[in-house]
Each structure stands twice: as C-alpha cells, then as structure tokens.
A and B are shown apart, each in its own frame.
Chain A
Amino acid sequence: MMEILETIERWRGEGQRIAIATVVGVEKSAPRDPGAALAVNERGDVAGSVSGGCVESAVYEEAQDAIVSGRARLVTYGISDADAISVGLTCGGTIHVFVERLDW
C-alpha cells in the first residue's frame, strides 16, 4: 500500500473511482507478504502487485467488477482452489486477497 499511495492519491485527484486488492493471508510459499496491494482505476490503469504476476490478471478482473458493483469480496488463489489450473500460483502457495472499492 505504501508504494502505491501517491498513485492512488493522484487518481483520486482526477476523480477516478478505484478498487484496491490487498493480500490478507498467505499459506506455504507465496511471493508477497500480507499487506501487498494492487490498485485499479475505472480507466483500467494498474499500480502495485499482489503476487509474482501469476494471479494479477484474475485480480484485475475482480477489481474492475468491484469498481462497478461496489461489492467487497475475499478471493482465494492457489493449489487448493478450483481456479488453480487457470490462475494458480506457479510457486505452489495459496493467497487470500480482499478486493474492495475505495469508498472509505
């Protein structure tokens, strides 16, 4: 979050609606620690990351949806997940990502 704060503030200044995805939990081997965050604006610009790149595009879709619907959700990616084949972590870990619209 710290690294993308300035970008988020700039987007807010431009009146963009924004969603933030934050790693809230990891199991086994995961590339980013809890607290790592990715932000998306309604134009589609992205800042930050939640993994080594393996689940970013899936998280991006969730974030786009959160911007429109305003619905916050907890999403899990990893070997134990049904989505693993398509968007699993190549490192074999599991991450839990909270996706929300920035309306707080």
Chain B
Amino acid sequence: MIFERLADSLRTAQPAALVTRLDGPQTGAKLLVHVDTAWGDLGTSGLTHAATQEARALLAAGQTAIRTFGEDGEPVGMDVRVFIQAFVPKPNMYIFGAIDFSRAMARMGKYLGYTVSVIDARPIFATKARLPDADNVIVAWPDDFLASAPVDERTVLIILTHDVKFDIPLLHVALRTTAGYIGAMGSRRTHANRIEALRRSGRSDAEIARISGPIGLDIGARTPEETAVSIAGEIIALRENRRGGRLIDGTLPVHNARLADAML
C-alpha cells in the first residue's frame, strides 16, 4: 500500500514525494517516489516515468507543485495534471549557548516545526533537564560542532552565547555556511564589537550583513519567552523577504505568492 509506505517514510525522516493524478479516468492514481525507488502507477508507463523524474527534481529542492504532461508523459503535453507533494525532513534549528533564553527558544523552535539542537561547551548547563523541549542537547565547542553539522538554506543558527570567546570563532564558521538565518544575541555595543573583530579578520561587509544582530524584531520583548517570539518573527520575516512591521501599516498582500500559483 502506498499510504503505509508514505507513513513509514515520514516516520523515518526519509525524503519522499507523493504524486497524484488530477485528470482523466485514472484521476486519483498515486505514485510514491523516493530518491532511488518508486511505487505505483499513474496510468501509462511513460507518464509514470516522466512524473518520477520530475518528482525527484522537486524533492531535491523541497518543493511542492503541479506539473502537466501528455497522456504518455510527453513533457510538452497538456492532457494530464499531476500534483507532486514533497515531504522533506524538518529543518534544523541550532541554538548555541544553554541559557534561560535557550529554553524558551527551543520550545519556540519545536512549535515552529524545527528539529532543535542546543549546543554548549559546559556540561553543567547543557542538560536535557534544563532544556526539556530540545530534540538534542550537545556538549561541544560551538564552532567545532557547526563545522561538521549538516546545514542548508532552511537551517537556522541562533547564537545566544554572547561571549566573544565563543561568538567570533562561531560566526566565522557560520558565515561559511548557507544557513538561511544567522542571529546573534547582544546589545548594540556588543554587536559593534563583533563586527569590528570580524572585519579585522577579513570578513566583508556583505558577509557581516548576513548576521541578525541585535537579534529579533523590534517589539520591546522583555522575558525569554517574548524574546523567543521576537526572534521567531524575524526568522519568518527574513525567509519571506518581509520587513516585519505591522500589517496595518502595509499594502502588500498578507500572504506572499507561492510557487504553485497560477499552475492550475
């Protein structure tokens, strides 16, 4: 059964794409595509093959979309629409520094659908008991950890150590990654000092501009929980290329247009 195989894939965090035929007598026919295997049949072997290839391309990009083919899978055909839904593992949130803010941030990260890891070099502070919501609590030097951790465009790095001893080596490693968000906690003065240190060691202004510091949106957050909300807002706003003000003050549509727009 396709559904059971899909459920197994999701449980084991294996990337999978579910393809549904939207037109013709075989409407609803299913195909489940993994990186190296596929199950199911969309009606013709040509269509099944073409949709499998397309599903793997979308899976690699983590995208969900509608594609149109000929009845036998011809790429220029317009007979059959298929819906390709990519299921990719949750993105990673790495929180550096096991402090009060980390506990609130870990909880917020879980709430937003991240796999959350908290990293701190001090075994006394980096404990599961202090960070109950984190998926992983790791005792390691932050820069050592990040140098070998998986990072992609969906990865979020939150640096709460605010100690130059940890921050600067970590920011050097962070700027070499493709992480979608790099936030560093600290006052304006702390951040100015960081920028100075990074510049002295050869980092360009464009690289330094990737760092969100002081971290978060300007909502006047006071508690660790409110700060987590402020950081979460900034993470989403940057991903969506938004400024993060009040909707009441704006004129843009409330939701950004999506890739699948106008495909039907």
Contact = CB atoms under 8 A, between A and B. Distances in A.
B2 interface: yes
Contacts of B28: 72, 100, 104
A74 B56 CA distance: 24
Interface in B186-229: none
Q: How large is the interface on B (under 10, 10 to 19, 20 to 34, 35 or more residues)?
A: 20 to 34
B83 A104 contact: no
A8 B3 CA distance: 10
Q: How large is the interface on A (under 10, 10 to 19, 20 to 34, 35 or more residues)?
A: 20 to 34
B19 to A, nearest CB: 11
Interface in B17-75: 18, 20, 22, 27-28, 30, 40, 64-66
Nearest to A2: B10
A96 B65 CA distance: 12
B65 A34 contact: yes
B66 A24 contact: yes
A9 B254 CA distance: 34
B85 A25 contact: no
A100 B18 CA distance: 14
Contacts of B10: 2, 5
Given A2-B10, A34-B258, A104 B87 contact: no
Interface of B: 1-3, 7, 10, 18, 20, 22, 27-28, 30, 40, 64-66, 83, 85, 87, 253-255, 257-258, 260-264
Given A31-B255, A73-B27, A104-B3, 9 more contacts: A24-B264, A29-B253, A29-B254, A30-B255, A33-B64, A34-B64, A72-B28, A74-B22, A76-B264
